[in-house]
Structure 1
Amino acid sequence: MRFGRSGKLSPRYVGPYKVLDRVGPLAYRLALPPALSRIHNVFHVSQLRKYVSDPSHILEDQPIEVKENLSVEEVPLRIVDRKDQVLRRRTIPYVKVQWTNHAPREATWELEEDMRNRYSYLFDQGIVAI
């Protein structure tokens, strides 16, 4: 059974999902998300794999400053990297931005022009760590 995209690059296994109960000697009922509602939720043991715990799967709790109106302001901390995406006749510059209240691995690629317009101080002070 293949999930997601069609073809050989689609994932063979998705999950992990909670086992709800044992239906028979070799079948289990799983708690599937709504995105997989078209799939029957009872699987033979040959189609299941044991979940192996991995520390990278655990999300760390980070303190977030919430304002009185319950909004959170995302402010860029620094520019981590820069790249140019080349299209047919244009080159589009991007910068990788590390945001407050986010881990460094959650940095996002943003258009350099937008970041210069909204957060020019990042470029004025030379806060570019490449």
Structure 2
Amino acid sequence: PASSKVHPVFHVSLLRKVLKPDQQILRSLPPPEAHLQIPALILQRRVVMRGAKRVLQVLVQWSNGSTELATWEDLETLKQMFPRAPAWGQAASQQGKIVSGTGTIERQEEAQSRVRHIRKPRLPARLAGPEWALGLVTP
């Protein structure tokens, strides 16, 4: 209307960002526990340049996620955030099963059976007399 003081154009808040062709939109929201995900598998590696510095990036498949949801992350940053993640190749539990070999278990049991008995410390004979126990002698 002519009495309006707002110019009839689009406000910047109504504009939406255009996605690049290689970007995808998720069809559904991730599960609520998605923020608790850790790197599960490294799918690919690449080197990108940031200024004059080379940065190693990895394509990470997150725990409880599919390969379609994998993201490119800086390797060093990721290792600092998740130092014990299964993606780095350490042994992880397999549904509650033992991950070490049977030889390792046998060696651990053998080492436990050879526990060294530690002798109880005693006072020197000159300090162990009854007069010391009563507090009659002062050092």
TM-score between the two structures when normalised by the length of structure 1: 0.40
Larger Rg: 2
Point out the structure with the larger strand share: 1
TM-score between the two structures when normalised by the length of structure 2: 0.38
Point out the structure with the larger helix share: 2
